Structure 1
Amino acid sequence: MADRRQVLRFGAVAAAAPALAGAVSAPAWAGAHGGGRSRPLVVGHRGASGYRPEHTLASYELAARMGADYIEPDLVITKDGVLVCRHEPEIGGTTDVASRPEFAGRKRTVVLDGVSVTGWWTQDFTLAELKTLRAVERIPAIRQQNTIYDGYFEVPTFQEVLDLRKRLSKELDRELGVFPETKHPTFFQRIGLGLEKPLVRTLRRNGLDRRGAKVFIQSFEAANLRTLAGEHRVEVPLVFLTSASGNPFNDPRSYADYLTPAGLKELSGFADGLGPEKNQIIPRKADGTLGTPTRLVADAHAAGLKVIPYTFRAENSFLPAELRVGTDVAAYGKSIDEQVTFLRTGIDGLFTDNPDIGVLARTLV
Structure 2
Amino acid sequence: MPTRPRSTLMAAFWLLTAIFPAAAQTIALPNEAQIGPRPFYLVDKMKDGPLKQQLSQCTGPFHRTGFSVGHRGAALQFPEHSRESYMAAARMGAGVIECDVTFTKDRQLVCRHSQCDLHTTTNILSVPALAAKCSQGFSPADPATGKKASAKCCTSDITLAEFKSLTAKMDGFNPDARTAEEYQNGTPRWRTDLYANSGTLMTHDESIALIKSLGAKFTPELKAAEVPMPFDGDYTQEKYATQMLQAYKTSGIPASDVFAQSFSLADILFWVKTAPEFAAQAVYLEDRYEKRGLDPAKPETWKPSMTELKAQGVKILGPPIYAMLALNAKGEIVPSEYAKAAKAAGLDLIGWSLERDGPLNKGGGFYHSSVKSAIDRDGDTLTVLDVLAKQVGVRAMFSDWPATTTFYASCMGMK
Regarding TM over 0.5, the answer is yes
Alpha-carbon distance in 2 for matches of 1:226, 1:272:
11
Partner of 1:35: none
Shift of 1:57: 1.3
Does 1:245 pair with 2:272? no
Alpha-carbon distance in 2 for matches of 1:73, 1:17:
24
Does 1:71 pair with 2:116? no
Does 1:49 pair with 2:82? no
Shift of 1:364: 4.8
Deviations 1:218-262 (A, max 9, x none): 111101111122134453521111146233xxxxx7756797496
Q: Secondary structure at the match of 1:149?
A: coil
Q: Contact conserved, 2:69 with 2:399, CA < 8 A, in 1?
A: yes
Does 1:266 pair with 2:308? yes
2:337 maps to which of 282, 291, 295: 295
Partner of 1:350: 397
Q: Secondary structure at the match of 2:257?
A: coil
| Structure 2 length-normalised TM | 0.68
Q: Contact conserved, 2:261 with 2:284, CA < 8 A, in 1?
A: yes
Q: Contact conserved, 2:271 with 2:278, CA < 8 A, in 1?
A: no
Does 1:62 pair with 2:78? no
Shift of 1:43: 0.7
Unaligned residue ranges in structure 1 (runs of 5+): 29-40, 111-116, 170-175, 248-252, 326-331
Q: Contact conserved, 2:35 with 2:406, CA < 8 A, in 1?
A: no
Shift of 1:18: 4.9
Partner of 2:273: 230
Shift of 1:23: 5.0
AA at the equivalent of 2:74? A
AA at the equivalent of 2:223? K
The verdict on how the C-alpha distance between 1:274 and 1:182 changes in structure 2, with shifts beyond 3 A counting, is same
Percent identity, aligned pairs only, is 25
Partner of 1:114: none
Larger radius of gyration: 2
Alpha-carbon distance in 1 for matches of 2:300, 2:80:
30
Q: Secondary structure at the match of 2:93?
A: coil
Partner of 2:219: 179
Mapping of 1:14-163 within 5 angstroms? 18=37, 20=39, 23-26=62-65, 41-90=67-116, 91-109=118-136, 118-139=151-172, 140-145=187-192, 147-163=193-209
Q: Secondary structure at the match of 1:235?
A: helix
Shift of 1:22: 6.0
Does 1:307 pair with 2:353? no
Alpha-carbon distance in 2 for matches of 1:350, 1:16:
16
AA at the equivalent of 2:121? T
Alpha-carbon distance in 1 for matches of 2:313, 2:225:
17
| RMSD, matched Cα | 3.3
Partner of 1:206: 251
Alpha-carbon distance in 2 for matches of 1:242, 1:49:
21
Q: Contact conserved, 1:134 with 1:154, CA < 8 A, in 2?
A: yes
Q: Contact conserved, 2:263 with 2:285, CA < 8 A, in 1?
A: yes
Shift of 1:363: 4.1
The verdict on how the C-alpha distance between 1:294 and 1:186 changes in structure 2, with shifts beyond 3 A counting, is same
Does 1:190 pair with 2:190? no
Partner of 2:261: 218
Q: Contact conserved, 1:313 with 1:353, CA < 8 A, in 2?
A: yes
The verdict on how the C-alpha distance between 1:215 and 1:23 changes in structure 2, with shifts beyond 3 A counting, is farther
Unaligned residue ranges in structure 2 (runs of 5+): 1-17, 26-32, 40-59, 138-149, 173-186
Shift of 1:93: 0.4
Q: How many residues align?
A: 319
Q: Contact conserved, 2:61 with 2:410, CA < 8 A, in 1?
A: no
Alpha-carbon distance in 2 for matches of 1:102, 1:15:
41
Shift of 1:264: 1.6
Alpha-carbon distance in 2 for matches of 1:161, 1:48:
14
Q: Contact conserved, 2:219 with 2:258, CA < 8 A, in 1?
A: yes
| Structure 1 length-normalised TM | 0.76
Shift of 1:24: 0.9
AA at the equivalent of 2:98? E
Q: Secondary structure at the match of 1:84?
A: strand
1:275 maps to which of 318, 327, 347: 318
AA at the equivalent of 1:202? A
